[in-house]
Amino acid sequence: MKLHCHTTGSGPDLVLLHGWGMNAAVWSPWLPRLARHHRVTAIDLPGHGASDYDSTQDSLDDWVAACLEAAPRQADWVGWSLGGQLALGAGLAAPERIRRLVLVASSPRFVKTEDWPHAMEEGVLRQFAETLARNHQQTLERFLSLQVRGDEEARLTLRLLRQEIVQRPQPHPSALQQGLELLRTVDLRARIPGLQVPSLWLLGERDTLTPAAVGQELVALGIPQSEIKVLKGCAHVPFLSHPGTSLELVKAFLGAGDSG
């Protein structure tokens, strides 16, 4: 699986991984300022944007391996939503490749269980999978609306999401199905106490997909070298709805030190 990358800027390497159904264009609000201090590699996930897709390589480990293959040999990694789970997987699989992790609106487990209450109902993802087979464009549109629900900048953020998606090819239907399956089934909770990479977790106060209360559960897991920040008034897409505030937190964590 050869993944498409867009690289810009100069400095220490920084990798960006987008979320389910999207593509690397969603990072547009952050890119110019990140590129002042970093060589930024924005990767299209398997079957998303301009990236290839191989349906025989369908596990989280397969997707992580494809991202590692496309990424610089050593870099800071920023992942949003499903991309955050992949970045976390990369940090666990190859800590020597990753200096620091920023997990944006992400979680080691996206589906609710008795011992993991701050997450999505599994039925939501099952319903998306069922409707995806009939009309993937309509399903993507519903998912976009769910991501901005509750955000104080919901209308603006939804418009920006729609604009960014059309800049790249439509995702492969099989990749969309498998991405939903990863969101539904992956559980990295047992592994992350052994994470060797410093991590910043950015959560939205009004996020309905990855509720801010998951931060309490992350603390309880005992993740070493971790910071957790909650963005007020924000739902699932802080780099679009609150680009300035969220970027300042990322820059402070990465040590960019740019005030402009």
Of 226, 236, 241, 242, the catalytic one is 236
Rg of the chain taking only CA atoms, in angstroms: 17
236 is catalytic: yes
Number of helices (H) and strands (E) in the chain: give both, helices first: 10, 7
Sheet containing 13-17: give its strands across.
Answer: 5-8, 39-43, 13-17, 75-80, 98-104, 199-204, 226-231
Q: Three-state SS for 196? A: coil
Residue 149 CB-density burial (10 A; 0-12 exposed, 13-18 middle, 19+ buried): middle
* Residue 47 to residue 53: CA distance in whole angstroms: 4
- 207, 241, 242, 246: which is the annotated catalytic residue? 207
Which of the residues 4, 13, 81, 242 is marked catalytic? 81
Phi first, then psi: what are they for 99, rounded to 5°? -80, -50
Asked whether 161 and 148 are in contact (CB, 8 A), the reply is: yes
Q: What is the distance between the alpha carbons of residues 185 and 122, in angstroms, rounded to a whole number?
A: 9
55 is catalytic: no
Catalytic status, residue 106? no
Three-class SS of residue 180? Answer: helix
Amino acid at 151: D
Catalytic residues: 81, 207, 236
